[in-house]
Chains A and B, each alone.
Chain A
Amino acid sequence: MSKKSLFISAVIVAAALAPFGFEPKGHSIRVLSTALLFAAAAQSWNIVGGLANQISLGHAAFFGIGAYTSTLLYLKLGITPWAGMLAGAFLAVIAAIILCIPTMKLKGHYFALATLAFAEVLRVVANSWETVTGGSVGLSLPYVNPSFIDFQFASTYWYYWIILVTLCVISFVFHYISVSSLGYKLRAIRENEDAAEVSGVNSFAVKMIAATTSAAFMAACGTIFAQFNYFFDPESVFNLPGISIRVAMIAIIGGIGTVAGPILGAIFLIPLEEYATAAFSSVAGLAQLVFGCILILAVLIQPRGFMAFCSRKKKKPQNSDVGAEVGQ
């Protein structure tokens, strides 16, 4: 155990010191920050998608709620985005409850599509409710003197560190859930919901805790995204391929249901995408084509994600239950 915690601390320290290798306003640090932000979002998704195996394709809903809540509170009432982040998380929890009560019992594709529809509903609302959300034109964060209270910094280092802390917190919570009794209950429900109910698991309460935790963290990621990008519109935060599918994909490519999976997935995918765009910009579509091919290869080579490589290597007979594997 101590060896493992040593590793973890080493990674965190290395990650925290990483920015000093880059220009403070540079491109590399921005890409790395974006990768970690998406790692954090994918980790939030992982709480529902990985532990409970409910494949949500609507996590953009919570992401957008976070972005809109904090930004609107800041623009209209001058409330600091830090408080806005909490408010966004709170609203996302409410939204998750509203979504979950009716859809909790849905299985597989039906659940995925219901969540997708939910995110679409919010996108249309954000697009149409012009007086409040600014409509399709989107929201810009005013250019102010950088300060902590305004959540704006001149150097990308600060964003990076904030994102890193967020990622660590979400990963820690994910790990805590997965080894706690809650994690066992979630896995029991995943394997066989009826059997779990019979043996005394309140599946409704358990799923609800997972869903609301996931939603709250996703909203926090949305707030950070808004602050980090300075501009967003309904199309960018409630986006199906850009957010919902992407976070699920990152978690799946990395290794669904594992702590390191989303982090590996994001660190692989986001810079890859960015690098492909930079390297193949001469022919329109080539970058995306290459990216798509690599994606296909990744899925074909290891459909259970990168983490499956290590779990196979170190497979012990009885521990398959503790995280790495996800059954159908």
Chain B
Amino acid sequence: MLGMYAVWFTWSIFEIDPILGSPLAFIIIFFVGYVIQKFFIHHIMKAPAAAQIFLTVGLMVVLENMALMVFGSDFRSVAVTYQTESIHLGEIFISKSYLYAFLAALVITGLLWTLLATSWIGRAIRAVAQDAMMAELVGVNATTTYNIAFGLGVGLTAFGGAVILPYISVSPTIGSHFSVLMFTVVVLGGLGSVAGALAGGIVVGVIQSLSSLVFPIHLQNLILFIIFIAVLVVRPNGLLKEG
């Protein structure tokens, strides 16, 4: 949601295309995430997981309503030329705004994977995720690593929000439309797996579209969630992760 606002403002003030503005959204929100982790979540890292979930719920309530008070309840959307254009391949229409968003997502996934797999900070994140104490022993500052990881997480979400702005308008509560879907995608793919998230995203998209060919569209989430539960039964750790 914040990412969408960030690019909406860069669009409306500087006339920067949302897709080009999206790295900016990533950077701004990365720091927001860094600060949130440092000042809030860090304090309850050792508390039960449930407390962490509810801390973030509280943060969401606060941010949503701050946005409501600052930005008002208007639906804001951008006007760019390509949002009404599409590429015709015979009988198939490919919407340009979706295509650009998809390409941007592919690029960022590639970057994330490279970062996690090859860079020092990427290795540190993975090390801390596996065993924070061992990582500390070999010289990784776990606290900073957590801050960066959380910043990366929310920054990427903001990036995602930014690239869909050409076809989704933003209002304070827009985030809630996506959070359940986001969880579904990540869990379906396997928590902690970059390729899994990508695979999960594609699978969810394909299920939604295919189910709309056979079933009424308002049942698309029903089909999705039934398949979701079924997948978890067969593969309790997600599609791409070994149990």
Contact = CB atoms under 8 A, between A and B. Distances in A.
Query: Are chains A and B touching in the complex at the 8 Å CB cutoff?
Result: yes
Interface of A: 49, 55, 102-103, 105-110, 113-114, 116-118, 120-121, 124-125, 127-128, 240-241, 245, 248-249, 252-253, 256, 283-286, 288-289, 291-293, 295-296, 299-300, 303-304, 326-328
Given A49-B50, A113-B187, A128-B222, 20 more contacts: A55-B49, A55-B50, A102-B230, A103-B229, A109-B187, A110-B187, A113-B184, A114-B229, A116-B180, A121-B229, A124-B219, A124-B225, A245-B54, A292-B61, A299-B51, A299-B58, A300-B43, A300-B55, A304-B51, A328-B49
A108 B183 CA distance: 13
Nearest to B47: A303
A124 B66 contact: no
Contact of B62 (A103, A245, A293): A293
Contacts of A240: 180
> Which residue among B172, B184, B228 has the maximum number of chain A CB atoms within 10 Å of its CB?
B228
- What is the predominant secondary structure among interface residues of chain B facing chain A? helix
B65 A289 contact: yes
Given A110-B232, A114-B229, A285 B65 contact: yes
Contacts, number: 136
A105 B236 contact: yes
Contacts of B89: none
A286 B40 CA distance: 21
B50 A296 contact: no
Contacts of B176: 241
A116 B191 CA distance: 16
Nearest to A308: B47
A121 to B, nearest CB: 5
Contact of A120 (B73, B225, B237): B225
B48 interface: yes
Contact of B222 (A49, A121, A245, A304): A121
B50 A103 contact: no
A285 B68 contact: yes
B226 interface: yes
B64 A288 contact: yes
B50 to A, nearest CB: 5
Contact of B40 (A120, A296, A304): A296
A62 to B, nearest CB: 16
Nearest to B220: A124
Contacts of B191: 109-110
A121 B225 contact: yes
A118 B226 CA distance: 8
B222 A303 contact: no
Contacts of A286: 65, 69
B193 to A, nearest CB: 13
B130 to A, nearest CB: 16
21 contacts: A55-B53, A102-B230, A102-B233, A106-B232, A107-B236, A110-B187, A120-B222, A124-B221, A124-B222, A128-B216, A288-B61, A288-B65, A289-B62, A292-B59, A292-B61, A292-B62, A293-B58, A299-B51, A303-B51, A304-B47, A327-B48
